[in-house]
Amino acid sequence: MEPNFRDPRTAKIEKVLSPDFIPMFGGRPLRTDRIDKDDGLDLKILLNTTRDVSQFLAKL
């Protein structure tokens, strides 16, 4: 029988132990390539052609 309670933790142990987990203040991943003007222009175009943030993030 399942216990009848809600788990209030925001960071569950299953997520923390997964290899793709990024801690809140862990910084950004190491970048090997430079961000050039074309990348910035592509992001501006994408930002101006999507309706909301969720659609923007889905297209990234």
Q: Is the pTM of this model over 0.75?
A: no
Look at residue 32 in the predicted model and tell me its pLDDT.
Answer: 84
Average pLDDT of the chain, as a whole number: 80
DSSP code at position 60 = -
The whole-number average pLDDT for the span 36-40 is 90
Of 27 and 49, more confident = 49
The whole-number average pLDDT for the span 16-25 is 73
